[in-house]
Amino acid sequence: MICYMLFDPQLLARIGAIIEQRTGMAQGAQSPANLEAAVRELSGDDPEGFLHTLAYSSEVASPWQLLLNALFIGETYFLRNRAHFTLLRQNILPEIVARRQAAGSPQINIWSAGCASGEETYSLAITLHETLPDLPRWTIRLFGTDINGYALGTAEQAIYRNWSFRHTDTVFQNQYFLPLENGWQLRPFIREMVTFRQRNVLIGPPIPQVDLIFCCNVLLYFEETSVRRAEAMLYEALSPGGWLILGQAEALRFDRERWVTHLFPGAVAYQKPLRPVRGAQPAVHHRSSPTAALSNPEKDRVPDSLEDEQMPMNYEAAVRAMRVKQYDDAERILADILRHDPKYVPAWVLMGCVLGNRRALPEAQRQLDEALRLDALRADAHYLKGVLYMESQQADAATAAFRSALYCQRGHPLAAMLLGHLYLKAGKTARARRVWQEAVEVLEKIAPEQIVSDLSDWTAEGISEFLSDQIKLLEN
């Protein structure tokens, strides 16, 4: 029988704390099971000595690199988050090129922060190659950085297996890669466009005056102090007019008013203004004319490693976290779900709720738009859009959204409650009574203790009593 030494939970907590301090990775984002397994393997029979080694060595030292390689999620693939690359081709690169040409400076600086094994960084290089017809005239400085030296080793070799191409077609693969016995190697003319450096994102950019930063699914795992520090650093790293792209389920948390938030179809981007400004209104962009795609339209969902049957369980964990206002945990869980299954509509809706609670209203709208693109009859998504419209004092739009929710789900109690309030405020008492009464009739058919929606902790009994009281007040 193999006997395992029992680990002191306090020791693991101390190791988790030093990881958080050095890398920004919040203890809440560290899997206790993965951490214990990694420490068990790397520390031998001296976990205290391993902790001492971590405390007094650099993150580039071997013990740190072995630990980070075991803990960090480095899974990625080419042209991930396709909407970002469409946005880059159609909107962001043309704007950067025009601005640089006007300044007489044909140079573009790009930073792929937290680049892991390099697929994102090389996807940026391929996008530049396909978008700029006069590319040889430009000085392109494209850097990929990551704290994980093992992942960077893969990036520098640029040899990838088929799993990295699961959202591209064979034309893309054959055009930019050479077949080898052990995979596919990127052709030299793309590899030469990229420089990789081992670097903690909290240290800052590898080059000054960056025009574009991709920092996807990095800050999502940081603790609050590190997020604040990183967002301030990203802002300072950009040249005036520079752009920041976060992960599809991420949003800026701090000092949002000094950025310009751009809402594009299927994506959100942040821009540093040419001149300092605070409180700028979000810029809404409608779909531009289509351009040639980098590959075939996105295929049907291909889960990565998360089993389909795990999805509801993880989603329920996100619901529980949101209800107790543990928004960081909820956001991380939902981002993980959407990374593996971008068509899981409940996760888009709940992420909209989480971001709305964070006051990231434009990004919340974007999540709900994506949910409704996938399922136009999702009542909770219409309801949440109504809530966001109410937050921005758009009563007519809120009324329309709540009515859409009730169309999709008869008597939707949360939508009925707020729609009745709007009707009452507009002097339409009879409509308010009718909406509330219909919701009460629907709730009478539901178990009293049942929670009416993932978006709240109202039970059927609780909201029924509340609405009944409102109706009685109208009758008095």
241-292 pLDDT tens trace: 999 999 988 899 999 999 999 998 888 999 999 988 877 777 878 654 333 3
Residues 52 and 113 in one domain: no
Checking if the pLDDT of 139 tops 60, the result is yes
Least confident of 54-63, 275-284, 413-422: 275-284
Check residue 298 and give its pLDDT: 38
Residue 347 lies in a domain: no
Checking if the pLDDT of 307 tops 70, the result is no
Mean pLDDT (whole number) for 223-248: 95
Check residue 341 and give its pLDDT: 86
Check residue 286 and give its pLDDT: 66
Average predicted confidence (pLDDT) for the chain: 89
Residues 198 and 61 in one domain: no
Residues 398 and 266 in one domain: no
Single residue among 284, 315, 348 that ends a domain in this structure: 284
Residue 322 lies in a domain: no
C-alpha–C-alpha distance, residues 25 and 19, integer Å:
7
Residue 307 lies in a domain: no
Residues 108 and 197 in one domain: yes
Say how many domains are in the chain.
3
Residue 391 has which token pair?
A: 């937050």
Residue 344 lies in a domain: no
Say what the pTM is: 0.84
Residue 119 lies in a domain: yes
Residue 75 has which token pair?
A: 């899974």
Residue 162 lies in a domain: yes
Residues 158 and 216 in one domain: yes
Check residue 281 and give its pLDDT: 73
Residues 22 and 96 in one domain: no
Mean pLDDT (whole number) for 156-166: 94
Residues 401 and 422 in one domain: yes
Residues 247 and 388 in one domain: no
Mean pLDDT (whole number) for 11-18: 92
Single residue among 239, 264, 284 that ends a domain in this structure: 284
Single residue among 261, 284, 307 that ends a domain in this structure: 284
> Which carries the bigger pLDDT value, residue 18 or residue 297?
18
Check residue 297 and give its pLDDT: 34
Residues 216 and 120 in one domain: yes
Checking if the pLDDT of 293 tops 70, the result is no
**For residue 13, what are the domain limits?**
9-71
Residues 42 and 92 in one domain: no
Check residue 74 and give its pLDDT: 67
* One-letter-per-residue 3-state SS of the chain: CCCCCCCCHHHHHHHHHHHHHHHCECHHHCCHHHHHHHHHHHHCCCHHHHHHHHHCCCCCCHHHHHHHHHHCCCCCCCCCCHHHHHHHHHHHHHHHHHHHHHCCCCEEEEEEECCCCCHHHHHHHHHHHHHCCCHHHCEEEEEEEECCHHHHHHHHHCEECHHHHCCCCHHHHHHHEEEECCEEEECHHHHCCEEEEECCHHHCCCCCCEEEEEECCCHHHECHHHHHHHHHHHHHHEEEEEEEEECCCCCCCCCHHHCEEEEECCEEEEECCCCCCCCCCCEECCCCCCCCCCCCCCCCCCCCCCCCCHHHHHHHHHHHHHHCCCHHHHHHHHHHHHHHCCCCHHHHHHHHHHHHHCCCHHHHHHHHHHHHHHCCCCHHHHHHHHHHHHHCCCHHHHHHHHHHHHHHCCCCHHHHHHHHHHHHHCCCHHHHHHHHHHHHHHHCCCCCCCECCCCCCCEHHHHHHHHHHHHHHHHC
Residue 126 lies in a domain: yes
> Which carries the bigger pLDDT value, residue 227 or residue 75?
227
Q: What is the CATH number of the domain that holds 434?
A: 1.25.40.10
Residue 122 lies in a domain: yes
Residues 400 and 470 in one domain: yes
Mean pLDDT (whole number) for 332-338: 89
* One-letter-per-residue 3-state SS of 439-464: HHHHHCCCCCCCECCCCCCCEHHHHH
- pLDDT band of residue 102 (cuts 50, 70, 90) is very high
C-alpha–C-alpha distance, residues 398 and 9, integer Å:
49
Tell whether the torsion through CA atoms of 220, 223, 228 and 230 is positive or negative: negative
Least confident of 46-60, 147-161, 296-310: 296-310
Residues 191 and 241 in one domain: yes
Checking if the pLDDT of 294 tops 50, the result is no
Q: What is the CATH number of the domain that holds 243?
A: 3.40.50.150
Mean pLDDT (whole number) for 221-235: 95
